[in-house]
Structure 1
C-alpha cells in the first residue's frame, strides 16, 4: 500500500475541482494550462511548454493536408489559434536520472462541448454528492481527474522514494485530444524534452483496467447526385435516397464480413469489433421536390494491425461494386472523400516492461482488480506515442460510459485507487 489517498487525497480533490471549473471547450485550454503550469512549478516540477504547428501537422497522416483546416478545426473554429493553446508538462527527476528510464504520465485538458439543458448542475461548477464520493462536472471522467491523478502520483513518489530510484517522471497535460491529438502529436513528432522517453501511461477512463490496443478510424464523406422533379411528377426525377440505401446496406454488409474475417484476440468481446457509423445524412432542398443531392458523413473502424489506407480501400471497392451494378450511379458516380481527422490503430506488446509494471502494481494493490489486457474500440493519444516508438498503455479512473455524457460523473474512490496504482507502477518501472 502506498498511503497515497491519506497523503494526497485532500489536495487531489482541490486541484481536480479547480481543473473542472475551467471551460476548456472549443480550444479554450489556455487559462487552465497556465494555472496548471504554475501549480506544477509550486509542487517542484520542472515545467515545459509547447504548441502544435499546423504546417508540420499537415504532414502527419492523422491530420488534414491543409494547415488552415488544422488551425481552425471543427472544435476550435473561430476560437484561439494553435499558438494560444499550449500543452504543458512537469518533470521530476529521481537519483541519477540518466541512469534510469523516463516514464510519461499523460492526460488531456480539452473537453467536448456541453448541452447545458441536459445537465442537472452547472457543467463547469464541480458538484459532489452528499457522501463526497462522486464528482459531477464536464471533464470529471474525461479526463481532468486523470490529469490530476498523474500529478499527485508523481508528487507522492517524489515525497516517499526520491532517494531510492533513478530516472524521470513526466506529467503531461496536452491540448486538442478530442480534435485528433494536437498536443500529443506535436510532442511525438518533435520531442519537447532534452531526454528520451521510454514508456507512457495515458490516464483515460478505463474502469481501472489496462488497455494496450486502440482502434483506428477513417472519416469519409459520401456525396450522391440525382435529378430533381416536382412531387406531382416525381417519376421524372431521380431520387438519391434509394441509391443511398443500396450503399448503406452494402457498407453494413462489409462491416459484418470484416467482423468475421478480421480478428484480434483483444476484440472478441465486442459484438461489432470494427464498427462503421453513418453519423450525418443531409438530402434534398424542399419537401415537394425529389431529392437530387445527398451528403453523408461516416466513421469507418480500423483494427489494430490494419492501416487507415487499407480500410478506406476496402470500402471504396465495395462502393465501386454498387456503382457498377447501377446504371444511374455509373453515369453519375458518387464522390467518397476523406475529411477531418484520421486515427491510425495502435497496439503495445504485452511483454513491454511498462505493461508488466502496471499489472504487477494492480495485483499487489488489490487481487480483485482485473489485470486482463484489453483493447478499446475508441482512439486515444496513446497512438501518437506508440507510433513514435514509445510503448504506451492506457489506464485510468472512471468509465468511458460517462465520457461526453450529460451530468458526467466520476466515482472518487476509483481516482484514489488509480493514483495508488500509478505510484506503484512508476516505482517498479523506475526501479
Structure 2
C-alpha cells in the first residue's frame, strides 16, 4: 500500500464522537503488513481524572473502546541508540455536511489555480494525511538504516481523543506503554512545514449570571443580565489587551493577539418579551508558555471580582465562574534540543526555508510528552487555517515534503 491509498482509506473512517476503534484496528493491520511491530493501549479514565487537562470526574472522560495504536521499527542495536516517536491522532472534529461541497469523508483530489495537487476531506489536514506521512517517513528511514548505520527505534503513534484533551497521548505520557524509554518526539500537526517548539495553553470557563425577570411592559421591575455581562466582557477584553503587552515571549511577537480570549457561547433569557434573568457564557483564555492554567485563571477571576465589587446587584447575587471541559497546559521545548536541531538540518537538506522555531496559539499533544520529560517539536504539512474548516484541504506536495523531511530527521537523530 502506498501513502496515497493509506491516506484515502484512513480518511474514510468517520472518527468523530469517540469512534476511533475501527480506524485504529485498520491502522494496526496496515502497520503489521508494512513490517512494524505493533501495540495498542486504552486510556484509564480514573488515571486521567487526576491529570490537569481533564475533568475531575472520570464519568466525564470518554475512554471506552478508544484504542491508540503504535508501530515500532528497530534498527541495528536498538538499545544502543535513541527512540524517536512520530505522533499523530486519529480523531477528527464533526463536519457540517451542508457547509461542504462534497462528502466530508470521501477524499476528493483536485488542483489549485497554479496546478498543485490537493486533497479535500475531513482530516486531510488535521490530521490523517500527517499520520500517513509519519508512517511512510519511518519506512523511508528503515530503507536507509543499514547504509546509514542506524541504532535505535522509530515509533509511529496514531492516538485517540486529541480533540478531547489528548486522551491517548496523555495516557501514554502518564504510563509508558512501551518496554523502552522514549527520547524525543515529533507531533505532525499542521505547521505549514515549519518547526513549532512552543504551544499555547488554554483554560475553559463557564460564567453564569442571575438577574430578575419582568414583563417587557414593565422592564424596569426586572434586572437585565446583559448589561452585567457586557461589563464583565469589557473587563476581560481589557485584561486580554493588558496581558498582550505585559506577558511577552519571543516566539509570539508576530501575533496581534498572543494570548487570545474567545467567548464562544452566550445564552441568555427564555422569552422575547421578558427581561432576561439568566445568562450562561462559555469561554476560552489563552495561557502563555511559562505560565500555568491556574495563574491565568486566577487573573480572570480577579478581573471578574473587580466588576462584582463595583456593582450592587452582582455583589448581592455573585456570578458563578467554573471550569468545564478540558484544559491545556502550555508547553515549550528548547530550540537547542537535538530533535529540534536535527529537524532544522533536515529541512535545509530537503529545501524547506523556514527553519526558525515558532510558537503556536493552539494546544497540541506535544504538551503531554514535554510534561513527561520527552523533548518534542511540532512539525507537519498543511495549515491550521484549514483545520476544522469546511472543505478542509491540503496540498499533496506538502504531505510528501513532510514525509521526506521527517524521514531525514529520523535518520539524523538515530545517527547521533
Structure 1: gaps spanning 5 or more residues: 1-9, 72-81
Shift of 1:162: 3.6
Helix, strand or coil for the counterpart of 2:240?
Answer: helix
Shift of 1:132: 7.6
Query: In structure 2, how many angstroms separate the alpha carbons of the residues matched to 1:235 and 1:211?
Result: 54
Shift of 1:25: 0.8
- Write the mapping of 1:17-32 to structure 2, written as runs, cut at 5 A: 17-32=8-23
Aligned partner of 2:6 in structure 1 is 15
Aligned partner of 1:35 in structure 2 is 26
Query: In structure 1, how many angstroms separate the alpha carbons of the residues matched to 2:123 and 2:302?
Result: 40
Query: In structure 1, how many angstroms separate the alpha carbons of the residues matched to 2:216 and 2:257?
Result: 39
Query: In structure 1, how many angstroms separate the alpha carbons of the residues matched to 2:283 and 2:335?
Result: 32
Query: In structure 1, how many angstroms separate the alpha carbons of the residues matched to 2:90 and 2:2?
Result: 19
Query: In structure 2, how many angstroms separate the alpha carbons of the residues matched to 1:403 and 1:364?
Result: 28
Aligned partner of 2:96 in structure 1 is 115
Helix, strand or coil for the counterpart of 1:277?
Answer: strand
Shift of 1:364: 1.4
Query: In structure 2, how many angstroms separate the alpha carbons of the residues matched to 1:161 and 1:100?
Result: 12
Residues 82-112 of structure 1 show CA distances to partners (whole Å, capped at 9, x for unaligned) of: 2311000000000000000000000000000
- Write the mapping of 1:226-265 to structure 2, written as runs, cut at 5 A: 226-265=211-250
Query: In structure 2, how many angstroms separate the alpha carbons of the residues matched to 1:283 and 1:273?
Result: 29
Aligned partner of 1:170 in structure 2 is 155
| TM-score of the pair, normalised by structure 1 | 0.94
Aligned partner of 2:339 in structure 1 is 354
Residues 344-388 of structure 1 show CA distances to partners (whole Å, capped at 9, x for unaligned) of: 00000011000000000001111x521010000000000000000
Query: In structure 2, how many angstroms separate the alpha carbons of the residues matched to 1:239 and 1:147?
Result: 50
Answering whether residue 54 of structure 2 is matched by residue 63 of structure 1, we say yes
Query: In structure 1, how many angstroms separate the alpha carbons of the residues matched to 2:214 and 2:346?
Result: 67
Aligned length: 411
Answering whether residue 57 of structure 2 is matched by residue 89 of structure 1, we say no
Question: Aligned-residue CA RMSD in angstroms?
Answer: 1.0
Answering whether residue 366 of structure 2 is matched by residue 379 of structure 1, we say no
| TM-score of the pair, normalised by structure 2 | 0.98
Structure 2: gaps spanning 5 or more residues: none
User: After TM superposition, what 4+ stretches of structure 1 lie above 4 angstroms from structure 2?
Assistant: none
Q: Is the 8 A contact 2:116 2:397 kept in 1?
A: no
Q: Is the 8 A contact 2:210 2:279 kept in 1?
A: yes
